[in-house]
Chain A
Amino acid sequence: MTRAVPAPTTRTRHTLSPARRVKNTLMGGLILLATLIVVAPLILIFVYLLREGLGALNLEFFTRTPAPEGETGGGLLNAITGSLMMLAMASVIGVLVGVAGGIFLAEYPRHPLMPTVRMISDVLAGIPAIVMGLVAYGLIVLVFGFSGLAGALALGFLMIPIVVRTTEEVLKLVPLTVREAGLALGLPQWLVILRIVLPAAAGGIVTGVMLALARVAGEAAPLLFTAFGNNSVNLDPTKPMSALPLEIYRGATSAYDENQRLAKAGALLLITLIFVTSLLARRASRRR
């Protein structure tokens, strides 16, 4: 019986009809072609931005604000500081609420509110960023005017579902026996969570926060009518503030070459920062 096996294999290879063989090769080729088409835009965008924007990424870009319309020179210092400030403020909301949400979902699975929180956090993940901008506009701008705070609120709301999901997932990876060991030593549950479970999952949570930051760092839509933009450096969160994606949007739709040049350089900087952050986050999560 066993000795008879090789013979049929060779025979099937010979009897494989040309039609089937051609179809197999053809489909394999199409799949390779489709993959190339999928990956091409990423490479094309990056090469385009390198070619167009690298020259403008000089010292002036990082130390100056945009020149008045029609004049040359200037940089995006206002946007860089604005982005950093709003991302820092957004992280406070996103990390606090997101990590707490993740702890709630992972550590209190039998709480009656658990299914509601889980469902709503899933639903929030799908709400378009521009709609979050409208919400933040109604909540803050209508009362206090355009401000970096309003922009940060919209970005923070957008971070929440991403942080919740990743936190919940990594907390569930911490073995139950670790928790039981802590409880058996007489630690109350909250100390077990804070001292044992969270530190064990810290790497994964940081990864989630970095991914959330990378995601909202590029959002311009919710900032259009919250942070609004500002041509000079502003460190006061209650005043309008600029951000890199906002300047990219304004520059790309501007008729002035100089604004377009700054927009391309800003896009190169932003995309590089986002790529580096996501790659670092993924590498960190893969090592675990």
Chain B
Amino acid sequence: MSTLAPGARRKSKAGWNLLGLLVFVTAGFPVYWMLNTAFKPAKDAIDPDPSLLPTGLTLGNFSRALDIADFWGPVGRSLIVSLSVVAIGVVVGTLAALAISRFAFRGRRVVIVGILAVQMVPLVAMIIPVFLLLNDLDQYDKLSGLIITYLTFILPFTVWTLRGFIVNIPKELEEAAMVDGCSPTGAFLRVVFPLLAPGMVATSVYAFVQAWNEYLYALMLLSQKNQTATVWLGNFTTKHGTEYAPMMAGSTMMAVPIVVLFLLVQRKMAAGLTAGAVKG
């Protein structure tokens, strides 16, 4: 096909590869520097001429990070909040996604526009009324209050992505099952659900990550004694300055599990998020 000689082709590829590696280094540097600082002795972190390569390996920063403020409390609370949000979000979201992707009904368009529109409202704009609402409902500084508010941004997201996964499952499969004597519910449970399950897992993980990472509501709607993991990171900055090495250890503990989860599902998610976008 190509008129280029094999040698020239390889050479042109080498140039692109070099550029690609440059992107790799630039984009990866902040992550590398976080890990590097987390594991290096704290005194080496405050060297005005830091060494780019690791200088000795220590876990001291991690134990210091765990000492500075209670770590497992915030992590436990973050887990409770995120898992609850995912459980409610995915069940309720699947039902709604089924409605808008498998049924034609009057008002469908309005529902779709509504679900999309609420994603546009910036969280910060909502914080004042949400704060007052939770105050009135006696839900301020309670995890249940935070869970409800997280649903405002998790639900539209789960509905829209699950819709993307559902429309990729051919309707004919359900129809065939019903011809064979399944009820609509039976057809869903036996045919659609198994095919949808991987999409539901990916959506759950993604929603979990979003809920886990949320900062503003967690900061505003919970007091210090009930803080979640993202807010916990703020404990390293005091008026006496910032303890960077333990802070990077804390950051590592927060980021690594999330990034690993993310790596596992990102390919599937990108497919779900953009399902139909190009074809359209």
Our verdict on whether A and B bind, yes or no, reads: no
Residues of chain A having any CB pair with chain B under 8 Å: none
